[in-house]
Structure 1
Amino acid sequence: MPSIARPLRSVLYIPGSKPRALDKARGLPADAIIFDLEDAVIPEEKAAARATLAEALQTDGYGARMKIIRINGLDTEWGADDAKAAAKMGADAILLPKVNTPADLEALAEIVGDIPLWAMMETPGGMLNAAAIAGHRSLQGMVMGTNDLAKDLQTRFRADRLPLITGLGLCVLAGKAHGIALIDGVYNAFKDDDGLKVECDQGRDMGFDGKTLIHPAQLAVANAAFSPSDDEIDLARRQIAAFEECEATGQGVAVVDGKIVENLHVATARETLAKHEAIEALSAEHAP
């Protein structure tokens, strides 16, 4: 399974209808931006939002940030026109809401051609079909729509997200099996940094690459949580060094901090350092 080399720690939703927000996003330390034509745009502004977003992306200035356009569903009156317009905007991917089966992605692919697709995973049906959806030839990422999923499941809010764990886990398994990006759902209380950190840590430990965010104030917490820590970087370097020394001398078994270091540990260590280097490069570009 290929690892995700491009940092996607923070994926910020930006309304496609708001020129001021679109401009501000150019200076924010987000790894990726979801330019939203769906939930963030009221029906009366849907058509105008396409033109506003097209102008912003033509001006560009978003640097190495991944640019993803979330369109309205193809079962709505705006979806097909969104897809046709988005296909011409030069984005890195198009995000389809409420994907239930691979056929939903196929319908979008027929409109936009070879442009990479991402899927919003936010329905019980989508969760049950996660493996088939992840295997679609055009799919490169899954985004968890935890608010919609919780609504459909009729759950109560819990800090541990226990009612959602089965669905999230199915998507993680499917995404890892097919080597695609996995982005956790939003945390609604954008002023609660402590709660956000707990949820980011949970998502990171589950295997997600990053988290979708609803406010720029959440960027720092997400970026820190989904970055390798100083201790993890130090351990990775020591594991690689110890393993390579044993290989060079042909003597003994590599041991670091009282634990045996095997091939699989070295592979993880190399991925940790590669991710750290990619984040450093992206941070340098974002620096004023």
Structure 2
Amino acid sequence: MTDVRPRRSVLYMPGSNARALDKARSLPSDALILDLEDAVAPDAKEVARTQVADAVRAGGFGTREVLVRVNGPATPWGAADLAAAVAAAPDAILLPKVSSPADLAAASAVADAADPERRIRLWAMIETPMAILNIREIAAHAAEPGSRLAGFVLGTNDLAKETGARHVPGRLPMLPWLMTAVAAARAYGIAVVDGVYNDLDDEAGFAVECASARDMGFDGKTLIHPRQIEVANRTFTPSATEVAWAETVVAAFAVPEAAGVGALRVDGRMVERLHAEMAARTLTLMRAIAERELTASVA
């Protein structure tokens, strides 16, 4: 089962920008991706690696989930990035261009020597045609003993580049891939976060895409700028109506008379136990969001 914690807003921060790394500690995003890959120019890779490792060790990110996105193992920087990230011990390491479970196993083997308790998780970028074709096998790695796999991040820009699919409103060309990724993640109990929205000036379009991703079942959305955080947080937070209904459903199944009953009539609607489980998860998520926001306000 996916661990229930807020991942409504997952913000990329360029590892080469020391000021941005410092600012990240005060931003209201649920999670941060300290990036050594796409957001960093080749001549800044070494500096970025050092700055990100130092930032992770220094801490101060509060309850924000901190991921480090490394360069791929086939690049000149990949091996050193992975070693530095493991030594710094973020919450998770985000692996780019994952195309098979073997990519996860190789990264896990590197991490095992320094982190035998497996506290550092792995997340996989789903951004190539091969990743989509192998998505079930990649997700199934999470069920293997000792697996570190905890989530997927959709790389929709790379998917467009590799396939020729166009970015259009509604993302019709990508819907099969997006839903396949969600299904695979849910089948094996890992988190799944949608790709970025590129047009910073199109706030209305961004809000529509966030709502669409929420309705598809994504946990949240990756972001390219802090100005996108508020909309993502608001969209992926259950509404007051949803929370009230969840409380009603959970309460209905909690009474002794409901023990062993598979379905109940609640406020004129037939509700099954599966709906009670969904309602319980909504309430757990809301408690996690409330705790996250309380901690952020105190900090």
* Matches for 1:163-242 after TM superposition, within 5 Å: 163-242=173-252
Q: Secondary structure at the match of 1:88?
A: helix
Q: CA deviation at 1:256?
A: 2.8
The reply to whether residue 81 of structure 1 matches residue 80 of structure 2 is: yes
Amino acid aligned to 1:130 = I
Partners of 1:209 and 1:162 lie apart in 2 by 20
Amino acid aligned to 2:278 = T
Amino acid aligned to 2:161 = K
Q: Secondary structure at the match of 2:104?
A: helix
Q: CA deviation at 1:247?
A: 2.2
Structure-2 residue corresponding to 1:54: 53
Structure-1 residue corresponding to 2:64: 65
Structure-1 residue corresponding to 2:115: none
Amino acid aligned to 1:271 = R
Partners of 1:170 and 1:198 lie apart in 2 by 21
Partners of 1:126 and 1:21 lie apart in 2 by 31
CA contact (8 A) 1:243 1:262 kept: no
Q: CA deviation at 1:134?
A: 1.0
Deviations 1:4-46 (A, max 9, x none): 3111111000011111000111001111100000011100010
Partners of 1:84 and 1:163 lie apart in 2 by 37
Q: Secondary structure at the match of 1:108?
A: helix
Q: Which range moved further: 153-162 or 206-215?
A: 153-162
Amino acid aligned to 1:77 = P
Partners of 2:233 and 2:15 lie apart in 1 by 23
Amino acid aligned to 1:149 = L
The TM-score with structure 1 as length reference comes to 0.95
C-alpha RMSD over aligned residues: 1.8
Partners of 1:7 and 1:286 lie apart in 2 by 13
Change (3 A) 1:265 1:49: same
The reply to whether residue 120 of structure 1 matches residue 125 of structure 2 is: yes
Amino acid aligned to 2:18 = P
Q: Secondary structure at the match of 1:6?
A: coil
Partners of 1:179 and 1:254 lie apart in 2 by 27
Q: CA deviation at 1:246?
A: 7.3
Q: CA deviation at 1:258?
A: 2.1
Partners of 2:131 and 2:47 lie apart in 1 by 30
Q: CA deviation at 1:248?
A: 5.8
Q: Secondary structure at the match of 1:72?
A: coil
CA contact (8 A) 1:128 1:170 kept: no
Where in structure 1 are there 5+ consecutive unaligned residues? none
Structure-2 residue corresponding to 1:34: 33
The TM-score with structure 2 as length reference comes to 0.92
Change (3 A) 1:251 1:198: closer
CA contact (8 A) 2:100 2:134 kept: yes
Partners of 1:269 and 1:167 lie apart in 2 by 27
Partners of 2:220 and 2:160 lie apart in 1 by 20
Q: CA deviation at 1:253?
A: 6.5
Q: CA deviation at 1:206?
A: 1.1
Deviations 1:205-238 (A, max 9, x none): 1111111000000001111111111010011112
The reply to whether residue 271 of structure 1 matches residue 281 of structure 2 is: yes
CA contact (8 A) 1:124 1:167 kept: no
Q: CA deviation at 1:268?
A: 1.0
Q: CA deviation at 1:263?
A: 0.9
Partners of 2:69 and 2:259 lie apart in 1 by 54
Change (3 A) 1:123 1:106: same
Q: CA deviation at 1:58?
A: 2.0
Partners of 2:263 and 2:105 lie apart in 1 by 50
